[in-house]
Amino acid sequence: MSYRLAAVAGLVLAVLPAAAQESPLPELFSDVIDVRVVNVEVVVTDREGNRIQGLDASDFELHVDGENVPIDYFTEIDEGIARTDVKGDAIGAVSSLAAGEPVPTNYLVFIDEYFAVRRDRDRVLERLEQDLGKLRAHDRVALVAFDGQNVSQLTDWTGSRDVLRGAFGEARKRDAQGIMRITDIEPAVVEPTLADRSSQALIRSRAGIRRAMSTLNLSRREREIQRSVLAATATLRSYADPPGRKVMLVLTDGWGAPEWNGDDLGSVDWRPPSIESIYGPLVHAANLVGYTLYPVDLPGFDPAFTNAPAGTGDPSATYTPSPSLGLEPNLSALPTDLYSEWSQEVSLAYLARETGGLPMINAFRDVALAEAAADTRSYYWLGFEPPRNEDDELHDIEVRLVGRPDLRVRSRRSYLDLSKSTEVTMMVEGSLLFGGAAGKETLTVELGAPQRARGRKIMVPMKVLIPLDDITLLPMGDVWMNEVELRVTVINDHGDRSETPVETIRISGRREPEPGQHWWYTTELLLRKGEHRIVTAVHDPVSGTILSASGTIGHSPNPKRNKGASH
């Protein structure tokens, strides 16, 4: 029974490249993350790099977008122990940290098999396993691997050395596809295309425009990197809540800086992609939920790019670029191998710098876990409660020391004031990319027979039935009404997915709905031919409820009916 005869509107999706599909990870993106406190872990050193201990909250200033803001929480962590000597009643200790008690550190190890070469990956995994003895009794480790399409959990959080050794051994048995990435120079299998009509929801903000433009201008290799980055982002969010310090070791090869094509600079519509456009989602997610990134360069150093003599095995020998390289080299003049080295190190340095971590490049790949453990043993834990505008704006964070110009600080550099709408979109895309469901699986979607459209495209009629038992209608004058948000996103068998535009559906009636009633909404999907996986979701902003359905769309002329999840 329908609450109203029909609501008809247009929704056209563009197939744009991004990430891959299903995963056995449970509860991925299953809930909106409500961040009330931004945690800022601060490392303080002298000019020689020695840690400085014994500072108090009054020694620090916290600036957000250049404005001094109060520090609401402060605790010193000294060799893994929370200290109590906080001056001033206005500042409390960081929640969940008990004075005099050890602070656990959680090490989330993400293995990017999509870009890894087996020899290099296995070497690093063996060194990580050897350094498990560097961890303390209350520390925990989780291992996750991404093969280009699926995210697999090799072990959940555990401190058991036997379990971890077994997980590292299992990781070394898995395939690594890095050689394929190196030798694969064929053009993209699926070319990105734009629909005839863009969604207004996609271009409501400058951030939306930047995201759309940056995606369109990515090369094929950059789109493949983005696939791995989004997998790491989804993984990090699904492991968002362990108590204590949170660290992510990202094991990868080939995560380079965006390519700049000088021939395109004269185009009015062309905009060069940035490092942020590819790696920003991982950085912002890490800063949002309090992770510090320690990216690990799997191939390590080449003697041609280091001052250390070959075979020294000195882990302190770091990459030193040639004078002609520098921080902003003339990229077009660089040899291919030197450009690749510079490109990857710049990208890994960005991930570490923006989250307060360190890049494990060159010889440091062999001591990545030991170095991360040592780096997270002594620091200052600051926290503040920012005003929440939920406007998807990025805010700069700077920590300063009062009257101590001789000291240096390192910390995360920003936080994203994420809107609930963007959070819901991330949940929907997470369920599309890695399986699971976004909210309650009570939505019903009916797909009609595909019709031929221009080119290699099809038009698929779509009917969405919204159960009114699961959303909230409010009495507004003489009607009961609500405005819910519809999201539809698809992914094809090559791993290319659509953007996720948001359409507003107004539901209204003259009386309160009866149990079992539905509101239905019709639209059409413009897709390329072939099979696609589809996720449809309805978000009720009043109650926060998310209803979803998933299934497949093919070129078969027979209609399909999907209710709830269908994997």
Identity of residue 489: T
Tokens of 64: 């957000």
**Could you tell me if 190 and 18 are in contact, meaning their C-beta atoms sit under 8 angstroms apart?**
no
Identity of residue 247: V
Query: How far apart (Å, rounded) are the C-alpha atoms in residues 428 and 497?
Result: 12
Query: How far apart (Å, rounded) are the C-alpha atoms in residues 252 and 295?
Result: 8
Strand partners, 77: 82, 379
- Total-model pTM: 0.75
- Give the total residue count for the chain: 567
Please name which of 499, 496, 490, 485 lies closest in space to residue 443, comparing C-alpha atoms.
485
Tokens of 16: 């744009």
Q: What share of the chain is helix, strand, coil (3-state, %, to 5)?
A: 25, 30, 45
pLDDT for res 478: 87
Query: How far apart (Å, rounded) are the C-alpha atoms in residues 500 and 432?
Result: 11
pLDDT for res 525: 85
Please name which of 11, 66, 29 lies closest in space to residue 438, comparing C-alpha atoms.
29
Query: How far apart (Å, rounded) are the C-alpha atoms in residues 316 and 225?
Result: 29
CB atoms within 10 A of CB 439: 24
Per cent of the chain over pLDDT 70 is 71
Query: How far apart (Å, rounded) are the C-alpha atoms in residues 319 and 311?
Result: 15
**Could you tell me if 300 and 366 are in contact, meaning their C-beta atoms sit under 8 angstroms apart?**
yes
Rg, Å, the chain Cα set: 25
Query: How far apart (Å, rounded) are the C-alpha atoms in residues 83 and 106?
Result: 20
Q: What is the pLDDT of residues 426-481, one digit of tens each?
A: 777 767 666 666 778 889 999 888 888 887 888 889 899 999 999 999 998 888 99
pLDDT for res 544: 83
Q: What is the pLDDT of residues 346-370, one digit of tens each?
A: 899 999 999 999 999 988 999 999 9
Query: How far apart (Å, rounded) are the C-alpha atoms in residues 334 and 321?
Result: 12
pLDDT for res 339: 66
Strand partners, 452: 458
In the chain the first and final C-alpha atoms are separated, in Å, by 28
Strand partners, 155: 143
Evaluate the CA torsion angle 223, 228, 233, 237 in order and state its sign.
Answer: positive
The full set of domains in the chain, from first to last, is: 7-32+421-563 (2.60.40.10), 105-191+202-417 (3.40.50.410)
DSSP for 247-274, please give it. EEEEEES---PPP--GGGTT-TT-----
Query: How far apart (Å, rounded) are the C-alpha atoms in residues 145 and 153?
Result: 7
pLDDT for res 204: 31
Residue 565 DSSP one-character state = -
User: What residues contact residue 388 under an 8 Å CB cut-off, 6+ apart?
Assistant: 36, 417
Strands 245-252 and 291-297: parallel
Averaged pLDDT score across all residues of the chain: 76
pLDDT for res 213: 37
Kind and range of the H or E element at 222? Answer: helix 220-238
Q: What are phi and psi of 106, to 5 degrees?
A: -110, 120
Query: How far apart (Å, rounded) are the C-alpha atoms in residues 369 and 249?
Result: 8
Q: Which residues of the chain have pLDDT under 50?
A: 1-32, 88-89, 183-216, 261-270, 303-331, 556-567
| CA–centroid distance for 15 within its chain | 20
Please name which of 517, 389, 544, 491 lies closest in space to residue 14, comparing C-alpha atoms.
491
Identity of residue 538: V
Indicate the burial class of 564 (C-beta count within 10 angstroms; 0-12, 13-18, 19 or more): middle
Please name which of 227, 226, 282, 222 lies closest in space to residue 258, comparing C-alpha atoms.
222
Strands 497-498 and 15-16: antiparallel
Tokens of 133: 């003895």
Query: How far apart (Å, rounded) are the C-alpha atoms in residues 71 and 63?
Result: 10
Residue 440 DSSP one-character state = B
Phi-psi region of 160 (alpha: psi -120 to 50; beta: other; left: phi over 0): beta
DSSP for 407-423, please give it. -EEE---EEEE--HHHH
CB atoms within 10 A of CB 418: 21
